[in-house]
């Protein structure tokens, strides 16, 4: 029986664990959730490829543009067949929607971004449907200036986009209050006037609506009962309801985590919330990792390991001021030698740090000068180098594809 240890339970790590178990149902797969709260920063959608470097036109069908990417890009390493296989598996795992084409979704700043797969909570807001739209802001939340977003969308789209800002029916002790509002809507407790909070919210929004066929909210429409809440609001508002992803805390990302963790549990993967403190190696291979959990320290042995701890923002790569390191297995990281080259001058310029990551072989093994650092170590997600996740709009897609491939290779080695 193969023993696979996946370090990191983000999107890439979860898909690595699920893929390993799917490839070999008898495999003993252990998933280490190093920073599960990172899902608060996830958009909750799967963005495979929005643009190709040096091309002005946005990508319409992502899988048809893999061949246009640089040779070192993770998609090119996996290959078109591997990318398609992973995306087919994505549809087996997540209850998401989409076709072979990128969909276009509104942003909180009034922009439009491409996405490949999206939850039902986002579906009604796609701009490909040319129905009038109304965006609702909340007075105590600064994540969305509804009027500004609507003005920008209205000027760019061939249909009317209007907006209003209302006060949420109850106060939240949390700052920012998005999660508190979501919990209140889950519970549907009464306001001080004795009205259930879902009904009270609909009453505050309804007077501002005209003929809009759909209404967009911040992602506050519950965690456990979000489908039920959305359905009830649609009935009360007589319009389709959708949510617009925001920055942290993004409840769409938290819901994605719950879906993935449920899938991991159902697959029989052992999930442990712990950080890795050390690793033991022998003869060019990793033998075990030492982990520090909430209640105990332990050693976990494996036949193969997957590094899926994320990039710089997630702590999977660490900048010391003079170098960038991968702190768990000490895999070499590709980055400019001069510190001033790590970032460009303008905030929206092409920053080198967006491409920081470990070099890998075509089989996704971290490498130095083309040779694997360890024969039984694979890598997945944003810890990989070779692509610009910001410019390409490909971070979650790369996580899914490389996670799937790394997990499959880990049990096939």
Please check whether residue 48 lies inside any domain of the structure.
yes
Between 157 and 339, residue with greater pLDDT = 157
Query: So what's the pLDDT on residue 191?
Result: 93
Please check whether residue 139 lies inside any domain of the structure.
yes
Mean pLDDT confidence for 80-99: 96
Please check whether residue 301 lies inside any domain of the structure.
yes
Query: So what's the pLDDT on residue 353?
Result: 65
Same domain, 161 and 273: no
Q: Is residue 174 scored above 80 in pLDDT?
A: no
Two structure tokens written together for 320: 């010391």
Q: Is residue 348 scored above 60 in pLDDT?
A: no
Please check whether residue 67 lies inside any domain of the structure.
yes
Please check whether residue 117 lies inside any domain of the structure.
no
Mean pLDDT confidence for 105-110: 95
Return the C-alpha torsion angle 170, 176, 178, 181, nearest 10. -20
Supply the range of the domain harboring residue 61.
3-97+252-412
Q: Can you tell me the distance from the alpha carbon of 100 to that of 120, in angstroms, rounded to the nearest whole number?
A: 17
Average pLDDT, the chain: 91
Q: Is residue 45 scored above 70 in pLDDT?
A: yes
Which of residues 223, 243, 263 is at a domain's end? Answer: 243
Q: Is residue 346 scored above 80 in pLDDT?
A: no
Q: Is residue 339 scored above 80 in pLDDT?
A: no
Query: So what's the pLDDT on residue 320?
Result: 79
Assign residue 202 the CATH number of its domain: 3.40.50
Assign residue 38 the CATH number of its domain: 3.50.50.60
Please check whether residue 113 lies inside any domain of the structure.
no
Mean pLDDT confidence for 345-350: 62
Do the Cβ atoms of 138 and 220 come closer than 8 Å?
A: yes
Same domain, 133 and 164: yes
Q: Is residue 184 scored above 60 in pLDDT?
A: yes
Q: Can you tell me the distance from the alpha carbon of 256 to that of 253, in angstroms, rounded to the nearest whole number?
A: 5
Q: Is residue 308 scored above 80 in pLDDT?
A: yes
Same domain, 256 and 233: no
Taking 3-state DSSP, the helix, strand and coil percentages for the chain, each rounded to the nearest 5, stand at 35, 25, 45
Same domain, 149 and 233: yes
Q: How far is CA 243 from CA 5, 230, 365, in A?
A: 36, 9, 38
pTM for the whole structure: 0.94
Query: So what's the pLDDT on residue 380?
Result: 97
Residue 389 pLDDT level (bands cut at 50, 70, 90): confident
Same domain, 238 and 258: no
Query: Mind listing the pLDDT tens digit for each residue in 397-406?
Result: 999 999 999 9
């Amino acid at each position: 029986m193969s023993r696979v240890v996946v370090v990191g339970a983000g999107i890439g790590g979860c898909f690595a664990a699920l893929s390993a178990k799917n490839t070999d149902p008898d495999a003993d797969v252990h998933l280490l959730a190093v920073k599960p709260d990172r899902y608060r920063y996830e958009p909750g959608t799967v963005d495979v490829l929005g643009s190709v470097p040096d091309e002005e036109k946005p990508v319409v069908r992502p899988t048809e543009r893999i061949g246009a990417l640089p040779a070192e890009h993770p998609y090119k390493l996996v290959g078109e067949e591997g990318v398609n296989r992973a995306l087919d598996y994505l549809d087996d795992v997540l209850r998401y929607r989409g076709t072979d084409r990128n969909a276009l979704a509104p942003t909180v700043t009034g922009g439009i971004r491409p996405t490949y797969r999206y939850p039902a909570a986002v579906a009604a807001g796609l701009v490909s449907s040319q129905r009038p739209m109304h965006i609702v802001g909340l007075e105590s939340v600064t994540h969305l200036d509804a009027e500004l977003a609507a003005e920008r969308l209205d000027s760019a789209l061939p249909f009317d986009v209007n907006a209003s800002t209302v006060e949420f029916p109850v106060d939240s002790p949390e700052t920012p209050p998005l999660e508190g509002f979501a919990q209140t809507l889950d519970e549907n407790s009464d306001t001080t006037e004795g009205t259930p909070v879902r009904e009270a919210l609909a009453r505050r929004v309804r007077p501002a609506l005209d003929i809009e066929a759909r209404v967009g909210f911040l992602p506050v429409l519950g965690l456990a009962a979000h489908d039920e809440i959305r359905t009830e609001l649609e009935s009360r508002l007589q319009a389709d309801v959708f949510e617009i992803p925001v920055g942290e805390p993004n409840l769409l990302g938290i819901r994605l985590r719950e879906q993935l963790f449920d899938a991991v549990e159902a697959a029989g993967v052992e999930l442990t919330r712990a950080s890795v403190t050390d690793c033991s190696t022998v003869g060019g291979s990793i033998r075990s990792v030492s982990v520090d959990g909430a209640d105990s320290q332990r050693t976990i042995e494996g036949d193969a390991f997957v590094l899926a701890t994320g990039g710089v923002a997630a702590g999977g790569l660490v900048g010391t001021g003079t170098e960038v390191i991968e702190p768990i297995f000490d895999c070499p990281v590709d980055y400019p030698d001069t510190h001033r080259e790590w970032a460009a001058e303008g905030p929206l310029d092409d920053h080198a740090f967006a491409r920081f990551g470990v070099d890998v072989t075509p089989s996704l093994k971290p490498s130095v000068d083309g040779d694997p650092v360890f024969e039984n170590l694979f890598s997945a997600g944003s810890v990989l180098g070779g692509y610009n996740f910001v410019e390409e709009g490909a971070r979650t897609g790369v996580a899914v594809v490389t996670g799937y491939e790394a997990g499959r290779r880990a049990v096939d080695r």
